[in-house]
Structures are given as structure tokens and as C-alpha cells.
Amino acid sequence: MKTMITRFTKFALIWLLVFGVPLLHSAMAEGSDTEKYAWSENAGWVNFRQDHGGATVHETHLSGYAWAENIGWIKLGGTGSGESTPCYANDSATNWGVNRVSDTGELSGYAWRGTAGWINFNSADLQGKKVTVDSDGNSEGYAWSENAGWIHFKNTDIPYIVRIILAGDVNDSGKVDLGDAIDALKVVADLPSDVNVYADVNDDDRISIPEAVYALEEAGK
């Protein structure tokens, strides 16, 4: 994570811990029961918000998993290179995954599903429209799998779309802002909260101070 905790951030964190949690009403996690499926011509629905293994979109990459009934878990990234760009070099058996261009939201690279091989996000090479994920997590475009065929992220005739949870969007509102910092601090303070664990920004599988700091920094931009 890029953070160096600034003086402002420290002050804001202290303020939130002392005053913010009791005084401010934060948004409940809205979730998305419908905006989670892509469609694969051979594998059916692919769920990016599965209960026990969701996907996360970071500025420079994806992490986590998607789930398809017919082919099982799809892993979106192996061992990446942290903050370097691209995050995943896709040059070895361990360093692979789906990269994202932060300016355009365009994806590239590879995901992996254990039983049936690679899912290719370099779909422009295959005359497909590349998948993009915008700053709200909304996706469109196509990825390609030898076995699953084209995987379509947004359709209009029979409407569906994948909205991937944003890193830091703790309350799953589609934006990262002050409300997320408050909800992360509620978790730290062991207060009742409704958070999406896949908003994890530092891959430690929990929501805590790093998510609060990240949300504060995003709110201050």
C-alpha cells in the first residue's frame, strides 16, 4: 500500500475514533444481489461476489476469486509484485494475474481455474473487446477461455453486469469515502457493522486500520 500516514490522516483517524463513530451515521453495506454475474457461453454464470471468495478491484490489478458452477473457482491473481506496474508480470508459474490500467480501467493478463487452464484478458489480441472496470467497479467487455469460451461482463438485451467490489469500499456503496473509514473503524472498535470483507486493501483478509487510512486518503483527493 502506498500510504505514509500523513499528519492529516492521523488527526482524522483520532477524530473519527473519538467523535465520528457515535455521531455520524454511516451507510449500511448495500451489496449487490444482481450485479455480480458474467456469462460464459460454455460455463454459464460466473459469480464475482460469491459469499466465500469474492473478487476485488484495486487501482492496478484484480485479486480474489470468481465462481462458476460448472468449472469451480477462478483465481484472479497469483503472487504479484506489490505496487509495481504492471502488478503481475505474467512471466512465470507463480507471477500471474489480471492487471488494470488505473486511468482507463482496461484489464489485461491471465486468471486461472484449476481444472481447465488460463482465462485470457488480453482479448484484443483475439479480436474481442477488452474488459474494463471503471472507478465505480462497473465492468464491460470480454475475456477468453479455451474451454469456457467468451466470458461476457455486461449485456444489454438480457441485462446483466458485473460490479466488482472496490478495494476500500468497506460499506459496498460503489464509492470509497469517509463512510468507509467510519465502518472500518467500527470493526476495529468491535461495534456493530456491516462490511464487505472483499474491500480488503492489503490482502490480509480482514477490514481494519489500513482500510480506514486508505478510505480517508481517497476521501481527501
Which residues of this protein are in contact with Ca ion, per CB under 5 A? 169, 171, 173, 175, 180, 200, 202, 204
Three-state SS annotation for 29-81: CCCCCCCEEEEECCCEEEECCCCCCCEEECCCEEEEEEEECCCEEEECECCCC
User: Nearest-CB residue to Ca ion?
Assistant: 173
Judged by beta carbon, residue 140 or residue 183, the one nearer Ca ion is: 183
Give residues with Cβ within 8 angstroms of 144, minimum separation 6. 119, 120, 123, 126, 128, 150, 151
In whole angstroms, how close is the CB of 57 to Ca ion at the nearest point?
13
Judged by beta carbon, residue 138 or residue 173, the one nearer Ca ion is: 173
In whole angstroms, how close is the CB of 63 to Ca ion at the nearest point?
11
In whole angstroms, how close is the CB of 51 to Ca ion at the nearest point?
18
Q: For 157, which DSSP code?
A: T
Please give the grid coordinates belonging to residue 9: 490522516
In whole angstroms, how close is the CB of 208 to Ca ion at the nearest point?
6
Judged by beta carbon, residue 140 or residue 180, the one nearer Ca ion is: 180
Please give the grid coordinates belonging to residue 199: 474491500
Judged by beta carbon, residue 113 or residue 163, the one nearer Ca ion is: 163
